[in-house]
Amino acid sequence: MKLFEPFHVKNLDLKNRIVMPPMCIYSADSNGLVNDRHLVHYASRAVGGTGLIIVEATGVMPEGRITDRCLGIWEDAQIAGLRRLVDSCHQSGALVALQLNHAGRKCTARIDDRDDLISASPIAYDSDSPTPREMTGEDMQMVKAAFCEGARRAHEAGFDAIEVHGAHGFLVSSFLSPLTNHRTDEYGGSLKNRSRFLLELLTDLRRAWPEEKAISLRLSATDYLPGGISIEETIRLVKMVDSLIDLVHISSGGIAPVPVKVFPGYQVPLAQAVKKSCELPVIAVGAIRRSEMVEEILANGRADLVALGSELLRNPYWVGLEARKARIPYPWPVMYEGAFKRNL
């Protein structure tokens, strides 16, 4: 089966095609530190056979967290816990990436100064949300520097890859979407201008993050709204940044509170469209649950890797159990081996 085939990109030698996408577990304290719950949560998915684990959106600045319970990577004191997390996953053969994030106007964490709520333009997420401040050139420098410092710390913690969160209406995507970027300077208007902040960020990250290690970019390929980001623009955007990244992870939505019709594989056509037009390896995600569907996506060349979000929350041992069903040998930890040999 294709899903058990290894995959190689840059430094990543993945033992299979299954990815755990970034999913906040809202379990950190207000210092953004890793605790036992994070260790158990991520290590279980590694024991269960996941090839690549992308750790949840982690704030590069305190005011860049989505919530007070999100992980942080804004100071060196946060490295040790992250290193334990990475080591605990490596022990079971999973590789580990960290999603670096700035939440922008979608930050709900307690922040001392409301002036710290920043975005491409002063547009609130919805009528209940506060209006952010339009970012200045100085803000942009500060955020780019914070991402680079986050990358340096991620390397010290032993992460195999980083993922830039450029999706779901957070700070980076607030620049990309015409719905949230009304700027009249060189960072607004045309796609080239709206991508400028991302391009500068990736250029800086490429210098801060070891050349041999992979960078993934997560994008919302459509805003599901007229005048918003479309798949055609996403393809053009990926082509503009493809020399700076190694993987692209195709999600959708999140820029505005619009209902999205979710059905099995609903985002796969978006991933497929990017895969067809661009050279980069693509991760597909979204309501994918069954191994037959994973196989269909991979064998038809619609994506290179498949992320199972909710399914891995329900079943951390998904890969190992699918291997058992397919009678493919699977290296269970020695203390569990007996249980998997039995047919009771």
Ligand X SMILES: Cc1cc2nc3c(=O)[nH]c(=O)nc-3n(C[C@H](O)[C@H](O)[C@H](O)COP(=O)(O)O)c2cc1C
Q: Binding residues for ligand X, per CB under 6 A? A: 21-24, 56-57, 99, 165, 167-168, 218, 251, 285-288, 308-311
Cβ 56 to ligand X shortest distance, Å = 4
DSSP code for 54? E
Q: How far apart are CA 86 and CA 163, in angstroms?
A: 15
Nearer to ligand X, 57 or 205 (CB): 57
Nearer to ligand X, 24 or 61 (CB): 24
CB 44 within 8 A of CB 11: no
Q: How many residues does the chain have?
A: 344
What is the CA angle 12-282-79, rounded to 5? 45
Amino acid of residue 74: W
Nearer to ligand X, 168 or 194 (CB): 168
* Token reading at 299: 């064998």
Cβ 105 to ligand X shortest distance, Å = 16
Q: How far apart are CA 249 and CA 251, in angstroms?
A: 7
Nearer to ligand X, 41 or 165 (CB): 165
Nearer to ligand X, 214 or 285 (CB): 285
What is the CA angle 86-203-99, rounded to 5? 30
Instruction: Determine the residue with CB nearest ligand X.
Output: 309
Nearer to ligand X, 53 or 167 (CB): 167
Helix %, strand %, coil % for the chain, to 5? Answer: 40, 15, 45
Cβ 288 to ligand X shortest distance, Å = 6
Cβ 334 to ligand X shortest distance, Å = 31
Cβ 101 to ligand X shortest distance, Å = 7
DSSP β-ladder status, 305-307 and 214-220: unpaired
Cβ 257 to ligand X shortest distance, Å = 16
Cβ 205 to ligand X shortest distance, Å = 17
Q: How far apart are CA 324 and CA 126, in angstroms?
A: 47
CB 130: neighbour CB atoms within 10 A? 12
Q: How far apart are CA 144 and CA 137, in angstroms?
A: 11
Q: How far apart are CA 139 and CA 73, in angstroms?
A: 18
DSSP letter string, 264-300: TTTTHHHHHHHHHH-SS-EEEESS---HHHHHHHHHT
Nearer to ligand X, 23 or 111 (CB): 23
Nearer to ligand X, 168 or 213 (CB): 168
Cβ 329 to ligand X shortest distance, Å = 27
